[in-house]
Amino acid sequence: MDSYALHLAMAALVGATFAAASAYYMHRKTLTQLLDFARAIERERERERERGGGGDEKRSPRRRSAEQHQPTDRRSAPRYYRRGGVGVGVGVGSISLPDVLAAAAAADGEDDEEEEEEERRTVVNAIFSAEEDYRDLLIPRGCLGSTPFRKFTGRRLDSNRQIVRSCSNKRVGVIRPTSPKSPVVSVSAFDSLDGSDEDDSLRDDSKLGDIYLNTNGNLESEPKGFFQPLPNNVIVNGESQPLAATSMIRSHSVSGDLHGVQPDPVAADILRREPEHESFIKLKISPNEIPSTDEMEVYKILQKCLELRESYVFREEIAPWEKEVITDPSTPKPNPNPFAYAPEQKTDHYPQMVDGVVHVYTNQHCKERLYPVADATTFFTDLHYILRVIAAGNIRTVCHNRLNLLEHKFKFHLMLNTDKEFLAQKSAPHRDFYNVRKVDTHVHHSACMNQKQLLRFIKSKLQKEPDEVVIFRDGTYMTLKEVFESLDLTGYDLNVDLLDVHADKSTFHRFDKFNLKYNPCGQSRLREIFLKQDNLIQGRFLGELTKQVFCDLAASKYQMAEYRISIYGRKQSEWDQLASWIVNNELYSENVVWLIQIPRLYNIYKEMGIVTSFQNLLDNIFLPLFEVTVDPNSHPQLHMFLKQVVGLDLVDDESKPERRPTKHMPTPAQWTNVFNPAFSYYVYYCYANLYTLNKLRESKGMTTIKFRPHAGEAGDIDHLAATFLVAHNISHGVNLRKSPVLQYLYYLAQIGLAMSPLSNNSLFLDYHRNPFPMFFLRGLNVSLSTDDPLQIHLTKEPLVEEYSIAASLWKLSSCDLCEIARNSVYQSGFSHALKSHWVGKNYYKRGPDGNDIHQTNVPHIRVEFREMIWREEMQRVFLGNAKIPDEVDK
Q: Which residues 6+ apart lie within 8 Å of 261 measured at CB?
A: none
> Annotated binding residue at 750?
no
List strand residue ranges (DSSP E) for 608-728, in order. Answer: 645-651, 706-707, 710-711
> Annotated binding residue at 513?
yes
Question: Distance (Å, rounded) from C-alpha 711 to C-alpha 162?
Answer: 64
> Annotated binding residue at 515?
yes
Task: Tell me the Cα Rg of the chain.
Answer: 38
Phi and psi dihedrals of 842, rounded to 5?
-105, 30
> Annotated binding residue at 444?
yes
> Annotated binding residue at 675?
no
CB atoms within 10 A of CB 169: 10
CA distances from 805 to 582, 786, 810 (A): 34, 12, 8
Question: Distance (Å, rounded) from C-alpha 83 to C-alpha 107?
Answer: 10
For residues 778 and 405, the answer to whether their CB atoms sit within 8 Å is no
| DSSP-based three-state secondary structure for 562 | strand
Q: Which residues 6+ apart lie within 8 Å of 536 measured at CB?
A: 469, 470, 471, 472, 477
Question: Distance (Å, rounded) from C-alpha 350 to C-alpha 347?
Answer: 9
Question: Distance (Å, rounded) from C-alpha 445 to C-alpha 23?
Answer: 83
Counted residue by residue, the chain has a size of 890
Q: Which residues 6+ apart lie within 8 Å of 17 measured at CB?
A: none
| Cα-based angle 575, 531, 525 (whole degrees, multiple of 5) | 110
Q: Look up 732 and say whether it is catalytic.
A: yes
**Within 13 Å of residue 267, how many CA atoms lie on the same side as its CB?**
6
Question: Distance (Å, rounded) from C-alpha 574 to C-alpha 624?
Answer: 9
**Within 13 Å of residue 497, how many CA atoms lie on the same side as its CB?**
1
**Within 13 Å of residue 220, how many CA atoms lie on the same side as its CB?**
12
One of 732, 832, 837, 860 is an active-site residue; which one? Answer: 732
For residues 254 and 233, the answer to whether their CB atoms sit within 8 Å is no
State CA 78 to chain mean position distance. 58
Cβ-based burial of 284 (10 A; exposed 0-12, middle 13-18, buried ≥19): exposed
For residues 326 and 833, the answer to whether their CB atoms sit within 8 Å is yes
> Annotated binding residue at 791?
yes
Cβ-based burial of 829 (10 A; exposed 0-12, middle 13-18, buried ≥19): buried
Question: Distance (Å, rounded) from C-alpha 732 to C-alpha 714?
Answer: 9
Q: Which residues pair with 234 in a beta bridge?
A: 240
CB atoms within 10 A of CB 36: 18
> Annotated binding residue at 116?
no
Residue type, 627: E
> Annotated binding residue at 517?
yes
- The candidate with the shortest Cα–Cα distance to 366, out of 349, 346, 345, is 349
> Annotated binding residue at 790?
yes
Which residues line the annotated binding site for Zn(2+)? 442, 444, 710, 787
Which residues line the annotated binding site for substrate? 444, 513-518, 713, 788-791
Which residues line the annotated binding site? 442, 444, 513-518, 710, 713, 787-791
- Active site members: 732
